[in-house]
Chains A and B, each alone.
Chain A
Amino acid sequence: MKKFVIFLLMVTSGIHHVQGQFTMVSSDKVLQISGYILPFVNYRFYDATETDRDKNRVNMDFAVIRVDGMSGKHIHYEIQLNMPAIYSADLSDEFLMQSTIEWRTSKDNFNIRAGYDKLPFSRASLNPQTASAFMQRPEVVRGKTFNRRDCGITLEKNFFSKRLNFYGGVYTGQGINSIVGDNDPNGKFLYVGRAEASYPARSRFEELDLHHFQVPNFAVGASAMYSEKSITTGTDYPILTVDGQKFAYEWDASFSYKGIALLGEYVVYRITPKDTGLLFGKPTDYYVANGYYAMANYTARKINSVFALRYDVFNPSDLVQFDARKTLSIGYDCMLDGFNSVIKVHYFKRLKDGTVDPWSEDQIRIGWQYKF
């Protein structure tokens, strides 16, 4: 352990601090350019009989350029582009990650945001992945169960210096297909609302306590969304959009103090499908997909490290037994320059549901996240 700590100190002491964003100012216009790059190696511990081992790979999931600016104090705009998505065969990989215009009050206590953006649903979804100890979100909220981004309009109102926040929005409900495509044939929208409170200070959608708060800080939140669509989509679970009704809600809580951060979230998707085949002949007109995660992490500033542990469960249908996707994640981050330059290690231990074998292979992912 001592050698390991000395090695870390040697590695981190030789790294120069990263110049963050670049800003241009002209009159009352401000333009900032920033971004991040995250190459990683992924290795799955396949069964000896497995012949398809294509997940063992070196990848570049993120090479993001972010341009954001202000025109006067009230108009804010932002565009985020993820370059590798151009080469992806998976149409759900987003090249455009954000494109928003926002009008904000002088006191920054109310804003209206229009464009393509994250939905105000789920703390884990709203937390930037670049600020996470891990390299992948929990299965229940990682974008396979709802479209994390969509085209729409979001209103945000906050009180008490952002310690109490309310969000509400209306969106096309088609996710990435909303950008230029039409709505689905029924032409109905998706509605989302969220409320969150924190004490004694505002919560900043951070998963880690990198700053070692010297005062305990608590946050709780709850979100809900409703949509009624006529097309079912979803590559892993048929609930991304639902031919029928989809009502989802979640509640979440977080705590941070002296480098320790605890987070948890419980999410429920209540699906009322028109396709009764999804009900497996059971005497019901709906089924529930649900899940949760609990996470604990500690930032050890003296050795520029973050240690993290997460347990997450997702059950795709309450009508099917022993099909829950359970994962124990172990994370380690070596901060070369805070979270501007960090080596991330994420080990996924897939767990059995009852006596049924785990739903996927164990895997390890190691990446270097560099923000500029």
Chain B
Amino acid sequence: MDGLGKGDRQDFQDLDLEGITTDGQWIYLSEETYQRIWVWDPKEKKVVREIPFKHGGGRNEGVESLVFLPNSKEFILATEKDPNLFFKVDENFEIIEQFTIPGISEVSGMTVYQNVWYVLSDEASTLYQVDLGSKRIIREWLLAVINAEGITFDQQGNAWVCSDDMQKVFQFKLPMP
């Protein structure tokens, strides 16, 4: 992977990579099956840390997504489902807090945009805006996408959602009050 994202295929072959985020220096990847977090140095193009993050849930329901919180320099990790759990961790991936969010039972992706936390659910075909302090859903949008697996925003505030099963990327302009 180079500074902007290209890497050797063989570096990631046979891995069940589900989530990706960056703190500006490193790229963090969640490996679902083996329940590990990989820390990638994009300049040196190599893994610099491999952090076990075992939670004991289903084999295909591990850490599905992770996101860096720029303000607090912490991360949030989410397991997919059965159970769907959120973990706030520090920069060493030590757990600070474990919690659930009422109304969300499955997670496929997360992002932070303009310091606001967004959670994507593939099974609910829904994007949630969540208040990190109260752990409550602020608003939600139904998305006409099957198997929505990843979410990010561009500088214009458009949401970009990728679908695994449909092999497409969708752009949404989310209605805000």
Q: Which residues of A contact B (CB under 8 A)?
A: 17-25, 28, 30, 32, 34, 68-70, 72-74, 106, 160-163, 200-202, 210-215, 217, 338, 340
Tell me, rounded to whole Å, the shortest Cβ–Cβ distance linking A213 to chain B: 6
> How far is it, in angstroms, between the C-alpha of A161 and the C-alpha of B34 when the chains are bound?
23
From A17, A18, A70, B33 is in contact (CB under 8 Å) with A70
Number of B interface residues at 8 Å Cβ cutoff, please give it. Answer: 35
- The closest CB in chain B to the CB of A68 belongs to B59
Whether B83 contacts A106 by the Cβ 8 Å rule is no
Interchain residue pairs with CB less than 8 A apart (19) = A19-B83, A21-B61, A22-B56, A23-B57, A28-B34, A30-B34, A70-B59, A73-B16, A106-B14, A161-B165, A200-B166, A202-B165, A211-B122, A212-B124, A212-B125, A213-B146, A214-B125, A214-B144, A217-B146
Whether B142 contacts A214 by the Cβ 8 Å rule is yes
Which residues in chain B, 17-36, are within 8 Å of chain A measured between CB atoms? 33-35
Whether B82 contacts A21 by the Cβ 8 Å rule is yes
Tell me, rounded to whole Å, the shortest Cβ–Cβ distance linking A61 to chain B: 23
> How far is it, in angstroms, between the C-alpha of A246 and the C-alpha of B33 when the chains are bound?
43
Chain A CB count within 10 A is highest, among B164, B165, B166, B167, for B165
> How far is it, in angstroms, between the C-alpha of A213 and the C-alpha of B142 when the chains are bound?
10
Whether B125 contacts A160 by the Cβ 8 Å rule is no
> How far is it, in angstroms, between the C-alpha of A19 and the C-alpha of B56 when the chains are bound?
10
Whether B105 contacts A17 by the Cβ 8 Å rule is yes
Whether A201 contacts B105 by the Cβ 8 Å rule is no
Residues on B with beta carbons closer than 8 Å to the beta carbon of A21 = 57-59, 61, 82
Residues on B with beta carbons closer than 8 Å to the beta carbon of A217 = 146
Whether A30 contacts B33 by the Cβ 8 Å rule is yes
> How far is it, in angstroms, between the C-alpha of A72 and the C-alpha of B15 when the chains are bound?
10
From B54, B56, B84, B144, A215 is in contact (CB under 8 Å) with B144
Tell me, rounded to whole Å, the shortest Cβ–Cβ distance linking B137 to chain A: 15
> How far is it, in angstroms, between the C-alpha of A211 and the C-alpha of B35 when the chains are bound?
26
Tell me, rounded to whole Å, the shortest Cβ–Cβ distance linking A88 to chain B: 30
Whether B83 contacts A25 by the Cβ 8 Å rule is no
Whether B57 contacts A215 by the Cβ 8 Å rule is no
Which residues in chain B, 120-174, are within 8 Å of chain A measured between CB atoms? 122-125, 142-147, 163-167
> How far is it, in angstroms, between the C-alpha of A161 and the C-alpha of B61 when the chains are bound?
20
Digit string of B68-107 for contact with A (CB within 8 Å is 1, else 0)?
Answer: 0000000000000111100000000000000000000100
> How far is it, in angstroms, between the C-alpha of A17 and the C-alpha of B62 when the chains are bound?
16
Tell me, rounded to whole Å, the shortest Cβ–Cβ distance linking A32 to chain B: 4
> Given contacts A214-B125, A214-B145, are A201 and B81 in contact (CB under 8 A)?
no
Whether B57 contacts A201 by the Cβ 8 Å rule is no
> Given contacts A20-B81, A22-B56, are A210 and B123 in contact (CB under 8 A)?
yes
Whether B58 contacts A32 by the Cβ 8 Å rule is yes
Whether A340 contacts B82 by the Cβ 8 Å rule is yes
- The closest CB in chain B to the CB of A203 belongs to B165
Tell me, rounded to whole Å, the shortest Cβ–Cβ distance linking A197 to chain B: 13
Residues on A with beta carbons closer than 8 Å to the beta carbon of B124 = 211-212
What are the 8 tightest A-B residue pairs by CB atom distance, in nearest-first order?
A20-B82, A201-B165, A21-B58, A73-B14, A201-B146, A32-B59, A214-B144, A211-B123
